[in-house]
Chain A
Amino acid sequence: MKTVHMKINGQSIEVPADYTVLKAAKDLHINIPTLCYHPDLPPWAACGICVVKLENSPKMVRACATPVSEGMSIITHDPELHQVRKTVIELILSTHPNSCLTCGRNGNCELQSLAAEFGIREQPYEVRLRDIPEDRSTPSIVLNPEKCINCGRCANVCQVLQGVWALEFVGRGEHTVIAPAANVELNDSPCIKCGQCSAHCPVGAIFEKDQTRTFLDAVRDPQKHVAVQVAPAVRVAIGEAFDMEPGCICTGRTYAALRRLGADAVFDTNFSADLTIMEEGTEFVSRFVNGTGELPQITSCCPAWTDYMEKYYPDMIPNFSTAKSPMMMQGAVTKTYYADQAKVDPKDIFSVAIMPCTAKKFEITRDENMYASGYQDVDLVLTTRELARLVKAAGIDFTNLPKEKADSPIGMYSGAGTIFGNTGGVMEAAVRTAYKLVTDEEMGNVEVQAVRGMEGVKKGSVDIKGTEVKVAVAHGMANVKDLLEEIREARKKGQEPPYHFIEVMACRGGCIAGGGQPYATTDDIRQKRIMGIYQDDANSEVRCSHLNPEIGKIYKDFLEKPLSEKSHQLLHTTYHERRVYKK
């Protein structure tokens, strides 16, 4: 690795040549304040707060965007820099409403922290706010242009990380707003509701649609039987909202918290992840072995991804697994199988899903298949962040809660179910069961290393007793394009498909870094959450979906077998081409 020698505040340091000044300073434990910078994104260099001095130059440069060079000498802090940064923060504050107390980001707002760090005690400049209404058009997120500080993170996330281009800079100069092109409403735009914009927004300008009140109303209603499911990725992230380490497995505590919040039954989406594998795995084996459908088969459990595919790659609809997402399967069996077993009238069941994701709020009403039980299968989706707020408001000491168990008969899960929470997990879980379906033998080592890790696109092959299954895994929506183009290309040329099975998750790292997860997610935190997920899998006695006893029971008592008529009715869905811009 090539390195350079440089000085920061007089201290000599040798750093890799591809470092920025900001990174080099971090190595010396010097904190340069930033606002628009986010480690997930290429430096945008907009806010002007991370400016530093280059020795012997009258200019200041942005630490986030300035590459290090041999012999460079940098001053990161002095009274002049302090004054310039402070003035810039004051200027930004003059266009930002002073409504911290009623803002969703109160207490974890990056602008608020900067103002506090710089000891800003007055508003020296005339306050000018933008009088633009909120965009509440999607079921998932709310855009509040009044609070927007134009840092550009959301637009860059949407364009660079997700490749969606729903958000763009519209207008010029002080009239610049970040909005969908041509100022259409977000719901009429290409937006896939992944919520990465809301997870990256440093202030409260993009926020998940808060539905905590709906939950509280439901648990207060004695008529309602509130049945909650918890998604795989929630358990390794929710602890962060209570100052626990990222990746700490909080499954039992989350169940306990939900019960204390008034849930009548607590289930686990991991159960339905196992169910998904039974359906999707069987579907795959059927396509792969018997040629009953298009290859590659592509996973469909991520609602942001299915939305993207319906808009940008409708020609791939036949490649999609018809299996619903675990959340929707769980909803459907809650209001049928569980209602039956527990002798509860399904119309009284209020089905809630705790999800790491904002797109899930959109998924529950996306089409008529989401009412398979005869009712709306999932009535409410709360993100991890919303649940954390509910827990805090309820005075629950989350960290010290007892670790409780989920309720039967749809609460037990295998290690395969839990790894749905991160990139590669669905694929690995499917392989574990497909192996059994194809060979009628259990896999020896169930860990499929080829599909693990943070690389944007992972390609590999799995050997099922001499048969090669070519697989690919993509995460971060922008990474999927090349993969799909490869398939289109092969199809055009009449070649064999380059892959048999593809897993796609819209968010970088998978659901563990979903748009509804606790703030400040970085690759470091993603890694820790992923380690938590794999730990949960390793801790599991049962590590394959088909070995989950409750899965066995639901097929025996209710569904008969994977891809049965009942399965099709409750657990499978259809896809339709959607327009990128509705208008």
Chain B
Amino acid sequence: MAIRNYILVCGGTACESSKSSRIYENLVNACQAEGVADEVQVVKTGCFGFCEQGPIVKILPEDSFYVQVKPEDAEEIVKEHVVKGRQVKRLLYNKEESKKHAKVEDIQFYQKQFRVVLRNCGLIDPEVIDEYIARDGYVALEKAVFEMSPDDIIEELKKADLRGRGGAGFPTWRKWNFTKMVENDVKYVVCNADEGDPGAYMDRSTLEGDPHSVLEAMTIAGYTVGAARGFIYIRAEYPLAIKRLQIAMEQAREYGLLGDNILGSDFSFDIEIRLGAGAFVCGEETALLASIEGERGMPRPRPPFPAVKGLWDQPTVINNVETWANIPVIIMKGGEWFSQIGTDDSKGTKVFALTGKIRNSGLVEVPMGTTLREIIYDVGGGIADDKEFKAVQTGGPSGGVITKDFLDTPIDYKHLVELGSMMGSGGMIVMDEDDCIVDVTKFYLGFTVDESCGKCSPCRVGGRTLYNILERITKGEGVMEDITRMREIGHAMQKASLCGLGQTAPNPILSTLKYFEKEYLAHIKDKKCPAGKCKELISYHILADKCIGCTACARKCPVGAISGERRKIHSIDLDTCIKCGICLETCKFGAVYVG
């Protein structure tokens, strides 16, 4: 019997942790129970990107988009939607507008997105190679091996003008060309899947949702540069991605798409997985290579660049997951097609992990050149809880903040750097009026200080010194000289650190000093935290004219700092108060204020 419905269940890590596996099982069981198992195919796919609303279940061909699905909803979905043809309205994302349809294209979150990298995520079962092949998978490899010379491939990448998505944006064709040009018997291809920015998960989702795209791309690179071995360096904290990669590799080998004599040609290439142990710095390419070699993950000076002298001193092409995922499409559709997407400076799309104080957090893929405003307000749905937008941090913990004035800047490599930030791997963290800029900066710096490998002194010592200055400022112990000192240290770190981690670690400070110097000065001079975040600089008070003496705050206060009789005005003993903020949350009358 023909399949009349496809039920796609998100199998990304976020949805998995919200029991999407159970949803999947329940759906399969329900189909059986209802006798429709032959007509319905339930597919566990990769990430849909709309993580805010997960777990997500999508039904084709109606394109119904069910959100926040629970395992117990499975039966209803099958009985109502599949059997009776009636959408389960309470689970639809667009409840109000969904009188007739509830199509994905109607969802604003997806409207400005353009999926190249994530083309198969949420569509195919990543554990079944046939589904990848059905979506033109491995067509690029076949074309590369049988119709193109290595030079043709490099030429295509050059036309595409693809730049590395790992952060610095180095032209991919040049990297490949360097390695290709070196005459050497042994060369390597490496995939950097050591994604580590807080809040960023585009690489994980790509590998979980479409592992073959990376395998295919690496194999094409092997053919282009003349390498026979590839390594995927992936953090051990990504078990699902690792599992799906392993399954994908096995299936690819079975199909003759990996291993000896690929597609019957005389080209052989195979890939191995190496697990990272959770050091952020191992995302830096030379540290990553050292780690694969079994050495301590510490960066090495460049030049020589890995393209010429990399893994075990052999020429090595190393790209990150997102870069790899672009390759098969470019080979298939041509560099020209790709170069039409994006801006003059940056071609193609970019995947961002949109998080923070945003309505629709999730993974979004937009053409380069999309403005921040479009991403935050159109795709992201604006600031959560109708708060005021304050800034957005791009480029992860080593990026910088971008303020309201620059929301209309088209996002590409050049513009972000001009604004004192960077593309990084694509983290995008939105801050609202409640966020203290000094406090947030301290958080980012804390991360890079923890993750410094300790090799070079500017990063090792400078990072900690900066962090401690920030800590003093948030405690109200800052002095005016701190501003100059932070700039001095930041500059020295940018210029004299050995690797990208140290060179960019001061970015959050330097950029917030540039755009929010006033907020620093408020902490230093006035000993005030305008956002009310820095505990040492705030105190809680009760407004006499608003307090009705309901005693709710006094009952909730964990340290008994609030006193007052019923129906009488309460007061907070500042010496006892631990500034936990529970009274503020408890009071329904707006009588508690932060001063």
Contacts and interface: CB of A to CB of B under 8 A. Distances in A.
Contacts of A168: 296
A128 interface: yes
Contact of A87 (B304, B452, B455, B491): B491
Given A48-B496, A60-B496, A94 B454 contact: no
Interface in B466-514: 468-469, 485, 488-489, 491-492, 495-498
A344 interface: no
B307 to A, nearest CB: 15
B215 interface: no
A51 interface: yes
A174 B461 contact: yes
B301 interface: yes
A95 B456 CA distance: 13
Contacts of A43: 301
25 contacts: A45-B456, A46-B456, A46-B457, A48-B457, A60-B496, A62-B301, A67-B304, A80-B495, A84-B492, A91-B461, A94-B461, A94-B465, A124-B485, A126-B465, A126-B468, A126-B469, A128-B468, A169-B296, A172-B451, A172-B452, A172-B453, A173-B451, A173-B460, A175-B454, A176-B455
A30 interface: no
A173 B301 contact: no
A242 interface: no
A128 B468 CA distance: 11
Interface in A81-140: 83-85, 87-88, 91-92, 94-95, 124-126, 128
B298 interface: yes
Given A48-B456, A84-B496, A95 B301 contact: no
A349 to B, nearest CB: 49
A67 B496 contact: no
B488 to A, nearest CB: 5
Contacts, number: 109
B89 interface: no
B450 interface: yes
A45 B300 contact: yes
Contact of A171 (B303, B454, B461): B454
Residue among A45, A59, A95, A152 facing the most chain B CB atoms (10 A cut-off): A45
Given A152-B455, A173-B453, A67 B303 contact: yes
Contacts of A380: none
Contacts of A152: 455
Shortest beta-carbon contacts, A-B, top 4:
A176-B454, A48-B496, A65-B301, A87-B492
A150 interface: yes
B497 A91 contact: no
A74 interface: no
B456 A47 contact: yes
Contacts of A51: 495-496
Given A95-B461, A126-B465, 17 more contacts: A45-B456, A46-B457, A62-B301, A80-B495, A83-B492, A87-B491, A87-B492, A88-B492, A91-B461, A91-B462, A91-B489, A94-B465, A125-B489, A126-B468, A172-B279, A172-B454, A173-B449
B464 interface: yes
A84 B491 contact: yes
Contacts of A62: 301, 498
A91 B498 contact: no
B126 to A, nearest CB: 34
A128 B498 contact: no
A87 B497 CA distance: 12
Given A45-B498, A172-B452, A174-B464, A91 B458 contact: yes
B168 to A, nearest CB: 11
A47 B496 CA distance: 8
Nearest to B417: A58
Contacts of B451: 172-173
A213 B496 CA distance: 43
A45 B453 CA distance: 14
Contacts of A45: 300-301, 456, 498
B486 to A, nearest CB: 11
A371 to B, nearest CB: 43
B474 to A, nearest CB: 15
Nearest to B281: A172
Residue among B450, B462, B495 facing the most chain A CB atoms (10 A cut-off): B495
A88 B458 contact: yes
Interface in B327-352: none
Interface in A142-161: 149-150, 152
A155 to B, nearest CB: 10
A91 B457 contact: yes
A66 interface: yes
A124 B486 CA distance: 11
A553 B455 CA distance: 59
A150 B456 CA distance: 8
